Amino acid sequence: MEAIYQYAWLIPVLPLLGAMIVGIGLIAFNQATNRLRQVNSIFIVSLTGAAMVLSFALLWSQFHGHAPYTQMLEWAAAGDFHLNMGYTVDHLTALMLVIVTTVAFLVMVYTDGYMAHDPSYVRFYAYLSLFSSSMLGLVVSPNLVQVYIFWELVGMCSYLLIGFWYDRKAAADACQKAFVTNRVGDFGLLLGILGLYWSTRSFDFTVIGERLQELVQSGGLSGGLAALLAILVFLGPVAKSAQFPLHVWLPDAMEGPTPISALIHAATMVAAGVFLIARMFPMFEGIPVAMDVIAWTGAFTAFLGATIAITQNDIKKGLAYSTMSQLGYMVMGMGVGAYSAGLFHLMTHAYFKAMLFLGSGSVIHGMEGVVGHDPAYAQDMRLMGGLRKYMPLTALTFLVGTLAISGIPPFAGFWSKDEILGSTFAVNPTLWLVGWLTAGITAFYMFRMYFSTFEGDFRGNLESARETIKLEKLQAMGLSMGPGAMNSQELTMAADNHGAGHDDHDHHHSEFPHESPLTMTLPLLILAVPSLLIGLVGTPFANYFEEFIHAPGEVVELAGEVDLPEFLIMGGSSVGIALIGITLASLMYLRGKINPTAIAAKIPSLYQLSKNKWYIDDIYNVLFVQGSRRLARQVLEVDAKVVDGVVNLTGLVTLLTGEALKYFENGRAQFYALIVFAAVLGLVIFSGIT
């Protein structure tokens, strides 16, 4: 078994190897490599599968009591400074490796069907493999420096994948927005890392936590400065895990192909932030101010994402805001000290959210034959309805994911969300109330999404619905405030000419949608199993998950008896609010007993607040995009009028001086000596006067 640990470095290296070989092939032999598309995809999927098998072996070994394993080598040294690099395998690492590799493997299998007709099929696989490798490298990192290196690689890969269809303006803007927003958080993280090294002289996670507490207790470091360093580090997860106020990039990331949406939202980029909080938990838990900031940030983000999701008509953007909301739950759980609960929800969410996103991709794939390839039509739920009849497997798996995220027992999401809410109530009832209300809103918008997509009559052929969507599309384009990447009006708008051309010619291919091919439905069916059952490893009656994954320094034993009344009260309250949300969604979007349009008309301010995403994107556009442009114009004026003026004046003086001095050039050394003497004499006299 020890040999497995010695070769654990292969887990991130294998996907990297696949990306490098295929990438070099695309650069050197582009046409030949693209012709061998199936060979390349099988090669990359096989390497990811090998990494998955090795990850399961490590998890099995860790579960059976193998000690954490660390392999290090000296990477750089200067005087007393020594920087080591390597990899570490502990309980948290083993769990994350399994989550990332399983989701990545299934997404890659799914991609074969979803991207079958895309000319950049091979390039997409290379990007997926590189993205997976970057996340796996981050997971096995033993110190903050190595984490930061892979942290940036994950950000770079997300930029490439979100902007994969870079010829579409909306995609190009979205990847820029993701890049810029994440740089803000990454800069804070970098400052935090440097500050922590300055104060603790270490990059090691555990050492940083211990020394920071010692310094604060001894008075060597003020509590305020320690809190500031912790919050700076937290800015990294705020951006990566799309927490308020750096959440604005995540919905726009839907402009990328659906497989990458599933990978980003389930197991890679957004999970990286929660993972870093878990790694740095020994530092955070010793700083109450930082823990409060984390908890309230997570709670507000959860509520914010849920309230925006209720008015989304784009199926992918609805799921994007649900991801933002669920990440808020995880961060809130970490903030109240519920380490195991936060990671438990990370695991359950990874599987059901991957399934939901892949299910949405299956729906889009089926709809494109009816409405065309313009995402404004193919992703709008107002053109769906009744798809359960045409896409039964997709509908079944989507329902499983909907029940899981809504917190209905015995589905996985119930156990993890209930544990977070229970832990939160014990620490801060106000935070619990926010999380509890969010649970009800979550159930409402998720079943709104399910009913609008899969139940009722098919609306894809209704010209009135198409005209409404087309009008909204044109209005959005007309309200556009400029080409900036932070423009909130350009969330779903690809270049109109690019999309409209397809719409006119493609939407008559078929009258009704069709079920997706096996390569797309098989991953959905596989993901449905953990979405239903994996929560059973963390029930209050036998919490094997908490026994395996717990905060450093804690000793947790398997619970013998459960406080049944407490469990029934807490669990019953979360299920109760979820059932209320489901009932309302049913009355509105299934039975038609309540008219949602009429409700929106009665509370237009709240409706517009949700529809316009709390106007946060608009505010950022005014403050940062337009503000930076005004600043750039002012700098340009200074450059043109002042800097260029000085340069031009210098050139003019040089020209005139040269023209004047050329008449003194007679070739006599005595004359030159006389000029030098006169200059020195003048300098002496000037110095004496002054």
pLDDT at 498: 40
In whole angstroms, give the CA distance from residue 551 to residue 607.
Answer: 41
Report, as an integer, the average pLDDT of 464-489.
Answer: 61
Cα–Cα nearest to 171, from 618, 502, 492? 492
pLDDT at 496: 41
- Comparing C-alpha atoms, which of 527, 400, 514, 399 is closest to residue 109? 527
Mean pLDDT lowest among 59-63, 462-466, 597-601 = 462-466
Give 600-632 pLDDT, tens digit per residue: 999 999 999 999 999 999 999 888 888 888 888
Tell me the DSSP string of 623-664.
Answer: IIIIHHHHHHHHHHHHIIIIIHHHHHHHHHHHHHHHHHHGGG
For residue 140, pLDDT beyond 60: yes
Lowest mean pLDDT segment, chosen from 220-234, 243-257, 631-645, 649-663: 649-663
CB pairs under 8 A, 24+ apart, for 377-380?
Answer: 377/466, 377/469, 377/503, 377/507, 379/314, 379/315, 379/316, 379/317, 379/492, 380/313, 380/314, 380/315, 380/469
Q: Which two tokens stand for residue 341?
A: 């609960």
Query: What's the rounded Cα separation, in Å, for the pair 113 and 626?
Result: 41
Contacts of 122 (CB under 8 A, 6+ apart): 22, 26, 33, 34, 36, 37, 40, 41
The mean per-residue pLDDT over the stretch 270-284 comes to 93
The Cα 298–Cα 247 span in angstroms is 11
3-state SS string for 328-379:
HHHHHHHHCCCHHHHHHHHHHHHHHHHHHHHHHHHHHHHHHHHHCCCHHHHC
pLDDT digits (tens, 9 = 90+) for 437-469: 999 999 999 999 999 999 999 988 888 878 888
Residue 15 tokens, joined: 């996907």
At residue 482, does pLDDT exceed 70? Answer: no
The whole-number average pLDDT for the span 378-406 is 94
Residue 83 in tokens: 């920087």
CA distances from 455 to 2, 138, 589, 619 (A): 53, 42, 9, 37
**Residue 371's pLDDT band (boundaries 50, 70, 90)?**
confident
Dist. CA 644–CA 38, nearest whole Å: 57
CA distances from 443 to 33, 306, 361, 424 (A): 46, 10, 21, 20
Residues 6+ apart with CB under 8 A from 604: none
For residue 670, the model assigns a pLDDT of 66
Rg (C-alpha) for the chain, rounded Å, is 29
What are the pLDDT digits (tens) for 95-123? 999 999 999 999 999 999 999 889 999 99
CA separation for the pair 265, 312 (Å, rounded): 17
77 pLDDT above the threshold of 50:
yes
- Which one has a higher pLDDT value, 373 or 174? 174
pLDDT (average), residues 136-153: 95
Return the closest-CA partner of residue 266 out of 185, 347, 164, 379. Answer: 347
Provide the pLDDT for residue 153: 94
Is the predicted pLDDT of residue 3 greater than 90, yes or no? Answer: no
Crossing angle between the packed helical segments 91-114 and 269-279, to the nearest 10 degrees: 180
664 pLDDT band, cuts 50/70/90, is low
| 496-545 residue pLDDT tens | 434 433 344 344 467 889 999 999 999 999 999 999 999 999 998 888 99
Of the pLDDT bands very low, low, confident and very high (cuts 50, 70, 90), residue 663 is low
The first and second tokens of residue 104, run together, are 């990545």
Beta-ladder partners of 70: 88
Which one, of 284, 281, 298, lies nearest residue 332 by Cα? 298
Residue 381, SS3 per DSSP: helix
Which residues have CB under 8 Å from 38's CB, separation 6+?
none
Stretch 415-435: mean pLDDT: 95
* Alpha-carbon span 346 to 103, nearest angstrom: 13
Looking at per-residue pLDDT, the higher value among 488 and 551 belongs to: 551
DSSP 577-614: HHHHHHHHHHHHHTS--S-HHHHHHHSHHHHHHHHTGG
What pLDDT was estimated at residue 370? 87
pLDDT at 161 over 50: yes
- pLDDT higher than 60, residue 316: yes
Q: How far, in Å, are 663, 673, 683 from residue 680 at the CA level? A: 21, 11, 5
Average pLDDT over residues 278-299: 94
pLDDT of 477 reads: 64
Q: Tell me what the mean pLDDT of segment 372-382 comes to.
A: 87
Q: In this model, does residue 384 exceed pLDDT 80? A: yes
Round to whole Å and give the CA distance between 513 and 345. Answer: 34
Q: What is the mean pLDDT of residues 164-180?
A: 89
Judge whether residue 483 has pLDDT over 50. no
> Is the predicted pLDDT of residue 138 greater than 50, yes or no?
yes
Helices 258-266/339-371 angle, 10° precision: 170
Mean pLDDT of 639-664: 77
Instruction: Look up residue 482 and give its amino acid.
Output: G
Cα 644 from chain centroid?
Answer: 43
Q: How far, CA to CA in Å, does 674 sit from each of 662, 665, 670, 677, 679?
A: 16, 13, 6, 5, 9
Cα–Cα distance list, 546 to 91, 134, 432, 568 (Å): 11, 27, 21, 20
CB 150 within 8 A of CB 134: yes
Tens of pLDDT, residues 485-495: 334 444 444 44
Mean pLDDT, the chain, whole residue set: 88
Contact 359, 392 (CB under 8 A): no
Residues 205, 487: Cα–Cα separation, whole Å = 38
Distance CA 77, CA 79 (A): 7
Q: Which of 161, 166, 30 is nearest to 107 (CA)?
A: 161
Q: Name the residue with tokens 């500031």.
A: 228
Mean pLDDT value of segment 321-342:
95
Type of residue at 327? L
